[in-house]
Amino acid sequence: MAHALALNAVCGAPFRGGDVVLTTTRTHTMNHASAAGNSSALLLHASGARLLASDLSAGAERLFSPREARAALVRVCASNDGNAVLAVDADGLALLMTPDHAKHGAAGNLGGAVHAACFSPRRNDEFATCVGRLVKVWRVFQRERFYLRMTFGQCTARATHVSYSPDGKYLVVCSEDLAVRVLKLVDDNEPAAKARRRAEGDDSEGNDEDGNDADADGESKIEPVILHGHRATPVGAWFGRQGGIYSIGQDGVVIGWRPMEVPTAKEMQAHKKKRRLPLWAGADGLAYGAAWKYFAGLPGPGGRDVTAAAFANAEAPLLVVGLRNGAFRVFQMPLFYNGAADAVAKQAAIEGQSAMPVELHTLSAAPGAPLDSICFGGPSAAAADDGKANYPWIAIGCKTLGQVVVWDWRRETYVMRQRGHSYQVNRCAVSPSGETFATASDDGTVKLWHANSCHAIATYSGHAAPVADVCFMQAGGVVASASRDGTVRLHDVTRHRCFRVLTSPEAAPLTCLRGDAAGDVIAAGSGGGSFLIYVWAVRTGKLLDSLSGHTAPIVGVRFAPHGHPYLASTSWDKSLRLWDVFGTAVNESFAHLHDATALDYKPDGKEIAVATLDGAVTFWDPEAGQARGTIDGKRHVGMRRTAADGQGLPEGGHFQCVAYSANGETLYAAGLGPYLCIYDSVRRVLLRRVEMTAAKRLWNAIADRVDTRNITEAGARSMLDVAPSDALGALGARPGRGGSAAPSASIAPRHSAAAVGGSPEAVLDLPGMRAGGSLVYSIRDVQPSSDGTRLVAASTEGVLVLAKDTGVAFDPVDLGGAGAWATPAAVARRAAEGEFLTGLVAALRLGETALAERVMLAVPAAEVESVVRDVPDALVVPLLEVLAACVGKASGNASGKDGDSRPPLERTLTWVRALVAAKAPAISARGGACAPPLRAVLGELAALQRDIGEACVRNRDLLRFCCSTALDL
C-alpha cells in the first residue's frame, strides 16, 4: 500500500555537534537481513534527536534506531563489540540500543546533563557517566531499565571525561579542577535477588549498589588517587599497559603517569628533591609518578588549543589529538614498564620502543575550524581476538563546517566524507528512475543524493542567493534549479557541471520551477516585480514567453502530463490559472477564498490539487473548470497550541506542499508541523498521519498538550527572560515546598542552548528559526518515487527518506504461531512434509546456512520460481549468501568438510536465475548489501566456465580422434 511507509534515513542536515563513534558489529548488518556472524563497520553520530548509522562496509546511511530522544543527542558511546549503544540527550535522557533489537532497549533519566559516558570493556550492561561533579556507574537490568551501581563525588568541579581500565576495575576521571583521579570499582559480591530488589527501587540499607559504605548523599567513600600536573583543564585520560595512564590538557600537554610501588615518607621527600615531575600516592596501594611530559600541539594560532582527543586501547597505544585550527595529530605512545627509571629506559630500548610519544601523522581536516569530536576505529579494530588490532580509521566531527569525515591515516585517503546543507532545505525532487534525488537549500547549493545509500553524489554551486526549487528533466539526465537571484541553472548529472544559465529579464526572485514531460521547455515563476512566469527553451536557452496575470508571488507551477498542453500556476492572489503554453498562451482563472500555498497535477492530467491558507485542499477538474471536492486538513496538519498560547484554542495550520503518488490514488500533504498526511484522492479521506518527530523539547509549536501549571500572568514561564532567582511567585507560579516559588530553570526552555546542544552558537546555526530563538518544525516539500517504494521530504531537520515498511508486509512464517516451531529440527520436518517456502524462510531467519541449503535442494525444479517469488524481500541478502556458498560447492572451488556432498550444479543455477529474475527490484534496492554475494556468485561462475573451457581444450584431440575413427564394437 502507498501509505505503508516508515522513516528510513535522515540526510542533508549538517553535523551540529555531539559525539562520533566508530564501532564494528558482528551479529547483523544494518538492514538486519544478513546471516549471523557477519560484521560491518559503523559510524554513529547524532542528527538532532535521532541516531544515524553509516555502514562504511556497504556504503549506506540509515537510522540506527527508530527511537527518538526528547532533545538533541549530545553523547554517544558503544561497547567494545558494538552490540550495545548508549545515546544521551541534552536533558540527560539515555536510550540503550542494540543492532539486533534496535526498536527496543532500556531508557531512563541519568540525573542531569551528561558531559561524558563510557562503556565497561568487560560488560555490555555497565557504563559510567559524568553528571556535574559526580561520576555515576550504571547497570542495565534485563534490558529494561537502568539502576545506579556506584556514585563518586570526590571531584570539586565539573567532571569532563571518564574511561575504564582494561580489566574494568578502575576509572580515570578528568575534571575542571585541573586534576586527574583514579577511582576503584569494587567487584560485585551481592546475590542476584539483592540486585533485583535494588533495581526495583528498594535502597533501604544505606549502602551503595556494591554494598560499600556510602555517605548521606549516596556517594562512595573510597578515596581516589589524585594526580596533579596539568595547568589547563584535562581533556581526556586513559589507561595504558600495566596500569599506566596518559592524560592530555587543553593546552596540548600530554603527561605519562607510571604506576609505582607506594613509597615511604622518606622516599617521597627524596623524590621531591631529585625530580621536578610529581609523584602521587593514594589509598589501596596505588601510586603514580609523572614519567614524562610532551607537547602535542602545533605552533601558530589555534595550534596550542586541544578541542578533542581519543585513545585506541592499551595494546594499541595510539593517541589522536584534535586542535582548534582544524588539524589533528596521531601519536604512538610509549609503553609503561615496572621498575626504576634506568631499568625502564633499558627495557624500552631493547624492545625498540621510544621513551616519549612519536608523531605518526598530521593533517588539517578542517582549516580554521575547531574539531568538536574525534575517535579511533576501523574494520580491523574488532576483527582481531588477540587484542592487538590496529586502528586505521579516524572519525572527525566539525560543527563549524557541519561535516563528518572518516580518514584512513595509514593509507592517507578518505573512507567517507559527508557534508549536509548548512541551512534550511527548501525543495526536493526524485529522479524518474528513483535511484537519485536532489535537494535545494537556502545555502545556495543543490545536492544530488543516492537514494539507496543516502550519500551525497555531487554538490552544485553557483547561485548567489537561496535556491527556491529544483526538478529533474530529460529522463533524469538534467537537474534544474531556480534561485532567488533570478537565474535558472541546468546541471548535467553525468558530468556534474552546469551547462546553461537562464536569466530572467527583470531583477525578480524566482520561487518555483518545473519542466515539461519531454524536457524541451522549462517554466519558472517569480516572487516579485511583475509576478511573471518565464518560459525558456532548454536546448537554446532562449526566452520563449513571459506570462502575466498573477498579482502576487507565485508559489507553484506544474506542466500537465503527456497529452495535455497546459501549464498550471497558483499564487497568493487566491487564484489558480491554466496556460496554453504551446498554443495561444491564453489563460483561464479559478478563484479561491484564501491564498494558495501549493499545487500538483494528477498523473493522468484530469485533476489538480491546490492547498490554500485556510488548511483546505481543493480538487479541480481542468477540463470542466469545476471544483470536484475539498479536504479540510486544518486539524490534520499538526499545528498545536504552544506554551505561549496558554489555554487558548489550538492554532490553525495549512499545507505547504502537496504531491500525488505515481498512480494518482494517494495524495501526500504536509506543512508547518511534524505530521505528514496521506489522503485517498478518490474518496477524499485521511488514510494515515505520520509523525516525523517526537522531540518536543527540540522543536517548537508541536506540543499536543500544554501544562497549564507553567502558565503565569505574564505568559508562559519558559518564554520569560528572567533569572531563576527572580520572584516568580508574583507572576503566578505555584509555590514549591516550604512556601517558596518552584524554580523554573530545572527544565531548559525549548530555545535554550542546553536543548539544542550546549552552546548559544548551536541555536543560532539551526535552520527554521523564529524571532526570539525558538525552533519551528516544518515540512516544505514532499516527493514520492515513481515505483511508490520511497518518499523524500524536505524538513527543518534535513531530508527525510521514508521507505516501504517491510514490517507490515505479508510473511508466511507469521501464520500459525511460527515461534513455537521455528527450530532447526522442526524446519527440517516441515520441509520434508512439502512446506518448502515456510521452511526456507524460517531457516534463513534462524541463520542456519546448511539447513537453508538442504531445504533449497529439496524443492522440485518446477516449484523453484514460485518459492523464490514468495520469499520476503528482507531475506534476499541471506538467500544470495546461501546461493553463493552452493555455487562454490557445486563448482568444486569451495572448501568444505570431508564427506560433504556437492549440490547439483544445474539445480543451483536454476535458483540463481529464478532469484535474479523475481527479486531484481529488491536486489537493486539493497545494492550495497547484495554486492558481495553477487560478486561471489559471478566469480564462481567465471571460474566454472574457465574450468570447462580448459577441459574441452585438453580433450580436443581425443574428441577429434573419436569422431573421425570408426570403432568396431
pLDDT of residue 740: 34
Split into its structural domains, the chain has a count of 4
864 domain-assigned: yes
Residues 54 and 61: beta-carbon distance below 8 Å: yes
d(CA 119, CA 138): 10
Report pLDDT digits (tens) over 357-393. 999 999 998 888 999 999 998 775 544 444 445 678 9
φ, ψ of residue 330 in degrees (nearest 5): -115, 130
d(CA 514, CA 781): 14
Same domain, 656 and 789: yes
pLDDT of residue 750: 33
> Average pLDDT of 816-821?
44
CA dist 855 to 35, 771, 834, Å? 16, 64, 10
Report pLDDT digits (tens) over 217-234. 445 566 788 888 899 999
Same domain, 565 and 446: yes
Residue-number span of the structural domain to which 410 is assigned: 305-419
The grid cell for 95 is 536510550
The grid cell for 57 is 562496509
* Contacting residues for 415 by C-beta, under 8 A, at least 6 apart: 56, 393, 406, 407, 408
Same domain, 411 and 377: yes
Q: What pTM was computed for the model?
A: 0.73
pLDDT of residue 324: 93
770 versus 392: the higher-pLDDT residue is 392
211 domain-assigned: no
Domain boundary among 591, 623, 644: 591
79 domain-assigned: no
d(CA 649, CA 667): 28
92 domain-assigned: no
For 950, the 3-state DSSP assignment is: helix
d(CA 112, CA 957): 84
d(CA 952, CA 453): 44
392 domain-assigned: yes
Direct distance between the N- and C-terminal alpha carbons of the chain, in angstroms, rounded to an integer: 69
72 domain-assigned: no
Same domain, 577 and 653: no
Residues 533 and 557: beta-carbon distance below 8 Å: yes
Same domain, 780 and 864: no
Same domain, 324 and 336: yes
Lowest-confidence region among 29-38, 121-130, 685-694, 813-822: 29-38
Same domain, 613 and 583: no
d(CA 113, CA 75): 10
Taking 70 as the threshold, does the pLDDT of residue 697 lie above it?
A: no
Instruction: Please list the alpha-helical segments (H only) found in 779-847.
Output: 824-832, 836-846
CB atoms within 10 A of CB 179: 22
The grid cell for 720 is 520569560
CATH code assigned at 881: 1.25.40
Same domain, 687 and 634: yes
Domain boundary among 386, 403, 419: 419
Residues 561 and 603: beta-carbon distance below 8 Å: yes
189 domain-assigned: no
850 domain-assigned: yes
d(CA 107, CA 277): 45
Same domain, 351 and 486: no
807 versus 379: the higher-pLDDT residue is 379
pLDDT of residue 947: 79
Residues 118 and 107: beta-carbon distance below 8 Å: no
pLDDT of residue 352: 52
Domain boundary among 532, 556, 591: 591
For 129, the 3-state DSSP assignment is: strand
Nearest to 523 by CA among 761, 711, 514, 803: 514
Taking 80 as the threshold, does the pLDDT of residue 758 lie above it?
A: no
> What is the tally of helices (H) and strands (E) in the chain?
13, 59
The band of 723, judged by pLDDT with boundaries at 50, 70 and 90, is very low
pLDDT of residue 784: 92
786 versus 429: the higher-pLDDT residue is 429
Same domain, 457 and 568: yes
pLDDT of residue 386: 43
DSSP secondary structure string for all residues of 641-654: --GGGTTSPPPP--
Nearest to 565 by CA among 540, 547, 586, 542: 586
The band of 272, judged by pLDDT with boundaries at 50, 70 and 90, is low
d(CA 509, CA 469): 11
Computed over every residue of the chain, the mean pLDDT equals: 78
With DSSP H G I counted as helix, E B as strand and the rest as coil, what are the percentages for the chain, rounded to 5? 20, 35, 45
DSSP secondary structure string for all residues of 318-371: EEEEEETTSEEEEEEPPPP-SS-HHHHHHHHHHTT--SS-EEEEEEESSTTS--
Same domain, 586 and 453: yes
pLDDT of residue 733: 36
Paired residues of 393 in beta bridges: 377, 408
d(CA 125, CA 727): 44
Q: Of 18-27, 697-706, 731-740, where does the model show the most confidence?
A: 18-27
Provide the percentage of residues in the chain whose pLDDT is more than 70: 74
pLDDT of residue 176: 94
Sign of torsion, CA 935 938 942 947? positive
Nearest to 585 by CA among 535, 519, 513: 535
Lowest-confidence region among 48-62, 333-347, 883-897: 333-347
Same domain, 415 and 445: no
Taking 70 as the threshold, does the pLDDT of residue 60 lie above it?
A: yes
